[in-house]
A = this chain, B = another copy of it.
Amino acid sequence: MSPKVSDSTVRRLSRYLKILEARCSEGAGTISSDALATDAGTTAAQVRKDLSQFGSFGKRGQGYPLEDLGTHLREILGLGRPWRVALIGAGRIGTAILGYPDFRRKGFEIVVVLDEDPDKIGTPCCHTIVQGAEHLEQTLYDEEVELAILAVPAEVAQDLAIRAVTAGVRGILNFAPVRLRVPPHVAVQNVDLVMELEALAFELTHARDDEAG
């Protein structure tokens, strides 16, 4: 039933859903693959291929029912139920993330915030109180945390990742610029800002060449 879905497809599904939600609030009832493609910055054929991997959600001659497709996409992406998330590291990036309202809106509930800094422990931080990291395993296990956001210095990232996995975490969003070594059943997504800037630098440096030809 699930014949491997590529990462790029998943990213696009995510984008489609956002577009649907925007249109839904405008009250339209249906959307064509062409319109979706334009908004998402891809092609109509791509949209149809992506969606057809999971079922036939459209009506020929009409397009896709907005609300219906939205529900399906949420189900496909695994957003049909809330996810319990731990934020590990309440430094600059960590607190920035905590203030981000979109997470909760999409069903990602940050139920634990951990930090090693004694000054931060006990501090209220956006609905939650910062806890120490000594009992990380127990806390994450008790709170039934499934996802962890790792916003800690590179030196301690690997250690904390393993401890989180021990506590039952199966997915990690990693902001530390290191390649985490985790068991195969654990999913990791890396966010490396320096790498993104380097990609920009590369593109701009080689722009002249591309234009020629």
The distance in angstroms between the C-alpha atoms of A10 and B197, with both chains bound, is 11
Counting CB contacts under 8 A, is A162 at the interface?
no
The distance in angstroms between the C-alpha atoms of A187 and B206, with both chains bound, is 11
Counting CB contacts under 8 A, is A196 at the interface?
yes
Q: Are B1 and A194 in contact (CB under 8 A)?
A: no
| Cβ distance A183 to chain B, nearest Cβ, rounded Å | 12
- With A179-B41, A193-B191, A197-B147 as contacts: A205 and B95 at CB distance below 8 Å: no
**Interface set, chain A 1-20, CB cutoff 8 A to B:** 1-2, 4-5, 7, 10-11, 13-15, 17-18
The distance in angstroms between the C-alpha atoms of A171 and B196, with both chains bound, is 11
Q: Which of B15, B92, B206 contacts A195 (CB 8 A)?
A: B15
Q: Are A206 and B14 in contact (CB under 8 A)?
A: no
Q: Which of B18, B199, B201 contacts A83 (CB 8 A)?
A: B201
Q: Are A171 and B210 in contact (CB under 8 A)?
A: no
How many copies the complex holds: the figure is: 2
Q: Are B177 and A197 in contact (CB under 8 A)?
A: no
| Cβ distance A100 to chain B, nearest Cβ, rounded Å | 7
Q: Which of B2, B193, B207, B209 contacts A210 (CB 8 A)?
A: B2
Q: Are A106 and B194 in contact (CB under 8 A)?
A: yes
The distance in angstroms between the C-alpha atoms of A210 and B2, with both chains bound, is 7
Q: Are A209 and B97 in contact (CB under 8 A)?
A: no
The distance in angstroms between the C-alpha atoms of A74 and B26, with both chains bound, is 48
Counting CB contacts under 8 A, is A46 at the interface?
no
The distance in angstroms between the C-alpha atoms of A196 and B111, with both chains bound, is 18
| Given A78-B205, A108-B201, 5 additional A-B pairs, CB 8 A | A2-B206, A11-B199, A15-B195, A102-B177, A171-B200
